[in-house]
Amino acid sequence: MLNSIDRILQQFEISHYGFLPIDEPLAILPDTYYAPWESIISHLPYLIRSGSFYDAITKLPHLTTQRLRSIPEWRRAYVILTFFTHAYIWSGKEPTEILPPNIALPLLETAEHLRLPPTATYPGLNLWNCGLVAEGADITKPENVVMRHTFTGTTDEAWFYAVSVSVEAKGVSAIKLMLECVEAIEVGDDHRVVKCLSAFSEVVMELGRLLQRMHERCDPSVFYHRIRPFLAGSRGMEKAGLPRGVFYDEGDGKGSWRQYSGGSNAQSTLIQFLDIALGVRHYATGEKAGATTDRRQTYLDEMRKYMPESHRQFLEHFSTIANVKQYAMSPSASCDVREALNAAIDAMTAFRDNHIKIVARYIVRPAGAPSSEGTGQRKNIASASSNNSTSRGDLKGTGGTNLMTFLKQTRDETRAAKDPIVASS
């Protein structure tokens, strides 16, 4: 019989790898009808590098989604088509505003089936795009993770995704711990609450150490000038050459202009879960805590639309039962509970500090340095967010945010969740 925590995990499709699927994502669609898709995706870095990607898409037959049978197949199709989409938009010297029907139509159908936006997302780039070097290998170590597809064919890009996959897998411990913590609070077991919060802090610190491994195989210049441009979305990309977003051409005179955020770690269900677990509240960029009674929708709220539906629902459910901060701040809570909560918030603040340092190394500094990557005069998010600007506040994230302003506010809001009485004592 499943216990209550296992029932919740099962209900919201959370596996023993956390928000990664329980079974390894498909490496190929089994129906040979989709061989044309598989042929292009298997050679994508070469096609982009050689300038022959657009020609390959022109010759690509229009394939329907009617022969996709299982959820893993739908996810595989989503990965393929979103990689095609971003390659089509961003691999030329100028961004392409019109997505052709042989990509747009099956992508719209696939995205609707999976209830995700028809654009590259964190699930498509990371969660459903990975495998293991060998059966049974430890997925919490990025050297054991194999990424099925990249835009550039570089080790740097594969490592960039692999670190995120390992963070997700390691984070499952935090999910279980905080669900247990909620149960302990219901029966007033302070000892178990402190134990859960202390273990949670350790997991968050391990996640931070995993992030710090990014530099091992991902060069900042390669990331900024070669990889990052492909991750950009179509929202907030006026300076990059997409003032209206992208037109998804459905053929026969049908279609629509659409704007979406690009792939971003803000779309990680795990990271948003960590905040909810600690009672951290985020506000719209530039908005101060307590400035309004009804908090406006934030960028992080918007990013939930880019998560798998069951994981969005889990965050909504957990928000209704998460009670750690309220309990720790109540008069009946012991000082040990409050100190344990503050220690957990300190760990989460340090995690966000690590993220800011990585952004500084991989985006802010390369933005001020000339490219040695041979991208020529290609117009993309990398050049558009740094040209004619020396202000870090002008740098845009792949999701379209003012990057450093957003990250620092998010970090400061995390720190502000601490118990001020215990923190000052």
* pLDDT tens by residue, 261-273: 999 999 999 999 9
352, 410 Cβ separation under 8 angstroms? yes
Q: Where are the alpha helices (DSSP H) in 100-243?
A: 101-114, 122, 155-170, 172-186, 190-211, 220-222, 228-231
Strand pairing class (246-251; 98-99): parallel
Closest listed residue to residue 154, CA positions, set 43, 229, 45: 45
* pLDDT tens by residue, 285-294: 655 555 443 4
Percent of the chain with pLDDT over 90: 81
d(CA 322, CA 144): 34
pLDDT at 277: 97
Percent of the chain with pLDDT over 70: 88
Cα-Cα-Cα-Cα dihedral sign, residues 414, 420, 422, 423: positive
* pLDDT tens by residue, 307-357: 999 999 999 999 999 999 999 999 888 999 999 999 999 999 999 999 999
Q: Provide the β-strand partners of residue 255.
A: 249
DSSP 8-state class, residue 298:
P
d(CA 85, CA 299): 23
Could you give the dihedral angle defined by the CA atoms of residues 57, 58, 62 and 63, in that order, rounded to the nearest 10 degrees?
Answer: -20
222, 369 Cβ separation under 8 angstroms? no
Rg, C-alpha atoms of the chain: 22
Cα-Cα-Cα-Cα dihedral sign, residues 125, 280, 362, 163: negative
DSSP 8-state class, residue 335:
H
Average pLDDT for 173-195: 96
* More confident site: 383 or 167: 167
* pLDDT tens by residue, 32-58: 999 999 999 999 999 999 999 999 999
How far apart, in Å, are the Cα atoms of 236 and each of 218, 306, 363, 385? 27, 17, 18, 11
Closest listed residue to residue 182, CA positions, set 273, 282, 310: 273
d(CA 88, CA 96): 7
The answer on pLDDT for 387 being more than 70 is no
Among 27-31, 124-128, 285-289, where is mean pLDDT lowest?
A: 285-289
| Burial readout 251-278 (b: 16 or more C-beta within 10 A, e: otherwise) | eeeebeebebbbbbbbbbbbbbbbbbbb
The answer on pLDDT for 24 being more than 90 is yes
DSSP 8-state class, residue 119:
S
Q: Provide the β-strand partners of residue 132.
A: 145
User: pTM of the entire structure?
Assistant: 0.92
In degrees rounded to 5, what are phi and psi of residue 372?
-110, 15
pLDDT at 402: 77
Average pLDDT for 227-255: 94
The answer on pLDDT for 115 being more than 50 is yes
307, 269 Cβ separation under 8 angstroms? yes
Domain ranges of the chain: 1-425
Closest listed residue to residue 70, CA positions, set 102, 31, 14, 119: 31
d(CA 405, CA 401): 8
Closest listed residue to residue 244, CA positions, set 97, 394, 82: 97
Token pair 């919740």 in the structure block, residue: 8
Q: Per-residue DSSP letters for 129-150?
A: SEEESSTT--TTSGGGEEES--
If pLDDT is split at 50, 70 and 90, which confidence band does 295 have?
Answer: very low
d(CA 33, CA 40): 14
114, 81 Cβ separation under 8 angstroms? no
* Mean pLDDT score across all residues of the chain: 91
CATH architecture of residue range(s) 1-425: Up-down Bundle (1.20)
If pLDDT is split at 50, 70 and 90, which confidence band does 381 have?
Answer: low
Average pLDDT for 219-247: 94
The answer on pLDDT for 283 being more than 90 is no
pLDDT at 384: 60
Structure tokens at 258: 């659409």
Helix (H) or strand (E) holding 90: helix 71-90
Residue 27, burial from CB neighbour count under 10 angstroms (0-12, 13-18, 19+) = exposed
Closest listed residue to residue 45, CA positions, set 125, 151, 120, 148: 151
